[in-house]
Structures are given as C-alpha cells and as structure tokens.
Amino acid sequence: MMTNRPRGTNDILQGDVEKWQWIEKTAREVCRRYNTAEVRTPLFEHTELFARGVGETTDIVEKEMYTFQDRGERSLTLRPEGTASAVRAFVESKLYAQPQPTKMFYIGPMFRYERPQSGRYRQFHQFGVEVIGASDPSIDAEVIALAMTFFTELGLSGITLEINSVGSPESRTNYRDVLRAHLLPVKEELCKDCQSRYDRNPMRILDCKVDKCKELTQGAPEMLDHLTEEDRAHFQAVVSYLESFGIAYTINPRMVRGLDYYTQTAFEFIENGSTLSGGGRYNGLVQQLGGPEMSGIGFAVGIERVLIALSNQQVELPIDKGIDVFFVALGEEAQKHSVKLLQEMRASGIVADKDYLGKSMKAQMKAADRQGARQVVILGDDELAQGVANLKDMETGEQITVPLSELVQKVQSKM
Ligand code: AMP
C-alpha cells in the first residue's frame, strides 16, 4: 500500500522548488547587505527550551508542539519557531562575549500541530532574522526595513506594516491591571480561553478571534496609553526612523502577538488579510535562557504565505527554466559519443541534457522544446564520421555545421 505524506506537510517538487530557491536566494542577498549571518540550529531541541522561551501560556506551547520522548527518555520537541533556538545558540556559544550586536538569520522548516488549511501547515518554512545585543530604536527600524526590502525585491506590493508597542514588563504590569479592571464586568461572557487568559495573560484577550470577545473588548483601554516614558520614547523613535526610510506603517494598538517574549516593538506584515510575517523586540529572552541581560529583536516570514502572495499578485519570478543545450543523437555511435560531449559541455559550465530512450529525431526535437533548450546539437553517425555536428539555434531556427573540436566554444559563444 502507498504511504502518503503526513497531513499538513508538502512535497516541494520541480516547477515549484525553483521559486523556493529564488526566495531563499533573495533572503540571503538582502541579509548579506545588512551584514547578517546565517545560523543553522537543530530541528529539535529540549522541550524545556520552548516552554521557557516561547511561553507556557502560548497556543504554541499549550496545543501545537510536536513533542516526543527519544530512546534515552528525554523530552524533545520539533522546533515550532526559530527565535528560541537562535537565542539558545547565542547563549550556549557565548556569542555575547563578542562585540555586539549579533545579527543572525535562518531559513528552514518549523513544526506546529495546527489544523491544516490554505496557508497553514504542520510543517512550514520560515525565513527569520534576529538581532541581539542592541536596544537602539534604529535597530528596530532596520530590522523592519530588512523585511520590507525582502518583500519588495521579490516583487510584492501592497503590503501593510502594522506596528504597536507592547511595552516593557513594567508598562505591562500597569496595563494588565487597567485591562483586568475594565474587563471584569464582562469576564463571564468571554470565551473559555479568554476567561483563563484573564488571570494569566489578559492582553491576549485583545487578540482573540471569537466575535463575542472582539465585541466585548471594543473600547478597551490601549497599551499605547499606558507605556512608561522610556517605552513611549522608544516607540516614537522607531516610527520616526520608519518615516525617514519612507516605510509606511499603521499603528494597530490591539496587536499583542501570540508569543510571550515580546517587549516594546511588535509588528506584522499583512497582505490581503494574510499575515506574511510577525516580529518584535524580546528584551528579556536572552536572560531567561541563561544569558546576560541583553536585548533582542527579530521577525519571521512564512515562506508558504509569501508564495501565496506572489501567486495572488501574479508576480513572475525571474527564474531561468530552460537549458543551454540539448543533444539530439541518431545512431548507435552518435549516441555513445554524445554522452562524452555532454560531459565536456557540463565541465565548461553549460547546462546540457539529452534523450536516453532512443527516441526518433522528431520526438527528440520535441523533448528539446519541452526542456526549453536554447540550442540543439544534432549528431548522426554520418556527422560523427566527418567530425562535425549541426548546431541549431532554437530561437532563430538558424542551423550551422560545427567541427566537434569547436563545439563547446561555439555553444558558449552563443549563450
Ligand atoms: P509566528 O512565528 O507565529 O509569529 O509566525 C510568523 C509567520 O510564520 C506567520 O506570519 C506566517 O506567515 C508563518 N506561519 C506561522 N504558522 C504557520 C503555519 N502553521 N503554516 C504556515 N505558515 C505559518
């Protein structure tokens, strides 16, 4: 019996994988310009890392982790996001002892046990950036600008940047009290999840997708009105940097983001109602994971969501689908010799292929066309005996006879 792929996972096959490679290449190039280096961490970590790093009361930790016991009876978890791992690596390798800030990016699969639907998978992929060791508001703006550059260089447009400040722990303590007091009269009417959030993490109530909760929280006091002076100044500085970069933004005072570790700046990039990316500052996380007191900020982009946006916006990525040369060989000797010639072509950097099924001339020409070959080498036993081949330019239809000894050079000159 056939075993299918697990629910919520995808195979990325030819025709699509080129788009993935283009997106990844763009991410790498943009990161390079921002002097941001790649970090590769394990796909699984000790469960404890995410419980501590992402937060016990988050949906991810409460409901979505792929947690298992290994044969040594350790509790391990497939990483549901990248920040906790990046910070763990930063602390474990004592990168904090180096001059700061440390700028890192990652690209790779993440795992969450969610209900699969379009744009939501159980294995999905993120490109993320983390900058640790600097709390200057210009860093917040630069990290946001990096993400925006990535989107625009892919050819996406119409992306809204929503931004908020969720404050420092000090701001939040004050605000939580204000929010609880405001919601107390309607507490019993909130959904079950929100009733439990009321005590543990009332800000998450503002984020609830249930209509009734949305209605009940209309007119709730806003975090932005309860920031400390320092948090307010930080937020003001971030948005004025964004203005100076020419990056448009919308302040969304209800955005709290799902993860517990955020402080001050929180932001999301939204396209056509779908969140492409979320991020924010996490000033307590490094210390929480055993490092010194150091601030951090980052974002993660969902690559599948980017692909959906590219498709919705009908962006044609500049992907080279064709090949440089296809060999059409007729006759036994010509077949054999073309294998050798192919190797020579490839050694010279030419993208080359042939027919391996002994098809007719017509079928081989068709195959060349299907492969998007820009040139075709036609080699029969007669040509071989004379030491020549015919070279056809598939765009112009022009055909010339070339000595075999000059074939590589000729193909290259026409590329
Ligand atoms: P988060 O780590 O939850 O802030 O998510 C950051 C981004 O990752 C989101 O904006 C989505 O683009 C993407 N993402 C999160 N969860 C999923 C999922 N289950 N499937 C596909 N993409 C996701």
The pLDDT tens digits for 257-297 are: 766 678 999 999 999 999 999 999 998 899 999 999 999 99
CA separation for the pair 16, 18 (Å, rounded): 5
Look up residue 42 and give its amino acid.
P
pTM of this prediction?
Answer: 0.93
Segment 109-128 shows an average pLDDT of: 97
Atom of ligand 1 nearest to the CA of 112: 19
CA separation for the pair 220, 61 (Å, rounded): 27
For the chain, domains (ranges, CATH) are 17-168+228-312 (3.30.930.10), 325-413 (3.40.50.800)
Q: Is 305 in the pocket of ligand 1 (CB under 6 A)?
A: yes
Q: Is 112 in the pocket of ligand 1 (CB under 6 A)?
A: yes
pLDDT band of residue 247 (cuts 50, 70, 90) is very high
pLDDT band of residue 212 (cuts 50, 70, 90) is very high
Atom of ligand 1 nearest to the CA of 306: 12
Q: What is the pLDDT of residue 50?
A: 95
Name which residue sits closest to atom 13 of ligand 1, judged by CA. Answer: 302
Two tokens, residue 306: 């980017």
Each residue of 310-348: pLDDT tens digit?
Answer: 999 999 999 988 999 999 999 999 999 999 999 999 999
CA 343 to centroid of ligand 1, rounded, Å: 44
- Residues with Cβ within 8 Å of 63's Cβ and at least 6 positions away in sequence, in order, are 113
Token pair 């990325």: residue:
12
CA separation for the pair 282, 129 (Å, rounded): 13
Hey, which bits of 254-295 come out as E strands? 263-271, 274-281
Q: Is 120 in the pocket of ligand 1 (CB under 6 A)?
A: yes
The yes-or-no verdict on residue 254 having pLDDT over 90 is: no
CA 185 to chain centre: 42
Higher pLDDT, 38 or 209: 38
Query: Phi, psi (5° rounding) for residue 118?
Result: -60, 125
Calculate the alpha carbon distances from 113 to 7, 40, 210, 223, 260 in Å. 10, 23, 20, 31, 19
Is 40 part of any known ligand binding site? no
**DSSP H helices in 209-280:** 211-216, 229-245
Is 261 part of any known ligand binding site? yes
Higher pLDDT, 240 or 283: 240
pLDDT band of residue 2 (cuts 50, 70, 90) is confident
Name which residue sits closest to atom 12 of ligand 1, judged by CA. Answer: 302
Is 48 part of any known ligand binding site? no
The yes-or-no verdict on residue 136 having pLDDT over 70 is: yes
Pocket probe mutation, ligand 1, options 9, 60, 112, 126, max atoms within 8 Å of Cβ: 126
pLDDT band of residue 59 (cuts 50, 70, 90) is confident
CA 353 to chain centre: 32
Q: Is 291 in the pocket of ligand 1 (CB under 6 A)?
A: no
Segment 134-162 shows an average pLDDT of: 98
In this structure, are residues 307 and 23 in contact, taking their beta carbons and an 8 Å threshold?
yes
Q: Is 258 in the pocket of ligand 1 (CB under 6 A)?
A: yes
Query: Phi, psi (5° rounding) for residue 228?
Result: -70, 165
Name which residue sits closest to atom 8 of ligand 1, judged by CA. Answer: 302
